[in-house]
Structure 1
Amino acid sequence: MVDVIDSVIDANADEVLAGSTSMHDLMVAPRPLRKPVRDLIVVRAPGSLRPAGRGGHVRIEHLSSTGYDEVVERPSADAVALFWRFVIEKYGIEPPHRSE
């Protein structure tokens, strides 16, 4: 989860993405926020109430206002790439800058 947060900061994307955390999960929505927020990308932590089904994996969900939610689990090493795939596909937001 820290790698995902670092990638947002590194990409200077904190101007186009807003984030919040629950006790265990990272929730991200596009800026400007519309209230109520009805469209979220959630990165689930191992201690989440809805963790990945396998150890060493990350679970990322797109919770849509339409009810067509999407859930993908991949090895934790793929968390950053999977997160950005969701941001690009769901919000149409390309990382403004990524220094890799």
Structure 2
Amino acid sequence: MRTLGSGGPFFEQPWDETYEFLRGMADEHPKFEHMVAVAESVIRTESTELLAGTLSMHDILVLPRPLTGPPYEVIAVRSPSSLRKPAPGTVRIEHLSLSGRDEVIDRPVADAVRLFWRFVWEKFGVRPASGVPGGGD
């Protein structure tokens, strides 16, 4: 079986730094607000010890803790400036699997947090440490 996912090293970034960077982007470009909401949901649900994250360009890449590998299965929340950007007004969330059975879903940006947590639960088996804002748990 061909290994997919992410094969390179994963350089984790603290969630508060991810949030602050994206907050700055959204202050200048409101189309990034849903990206801020996803990062904020990880912090607010006290899930920073459950999920490792980093930014690749402006995409949020997420792995479950503890980190193993590489290779890694990755959930990617694609930004409006991504190389794999979603249509305007939508969020694209991808699961890059090791099996090659990747999944990509595009939804309205209002669904970004709920869709993110759905992917985290279905793909990694991780529930937030406390409730998800917007009823996504």
Same fold (TM over 0.5): yes
Segments of 4+ moved more than 6 angstroms: none
Alpha-carbon deviations, 1:39-77, whole Å to 9, x = none?
Answer: 00000000000011x210000000001110000000001
Q: Is there any run of 5+ residues in structure 2 with no aligned partner, and where?
A: 1-34
Aligned residue pair count: 99
Higher strand proportion, which one?
1
Amino acid at match of 2:118: R
Q: Name the SS for the 1:27 alignment partner.
A: strand
* 1:82 aligns with one of 91, 115, 121: 115
What is the TM-score of this pair, normalised by structure 2?
Answer: 0.70
Higher helix proportion, which one?
2
**Which structure has the larger Rg?**
2
The aligned counterpart of 2:130 is: 97
Q: Confirm or deny: 8 A CA contact 2:41 2:132 kept in the other structure.
A: no
1:10 corresponds to 2:59: no
Q: Name the SS for the 2:48 alignment partner.
A: helix
CA root-mean-square deviation = 1.1
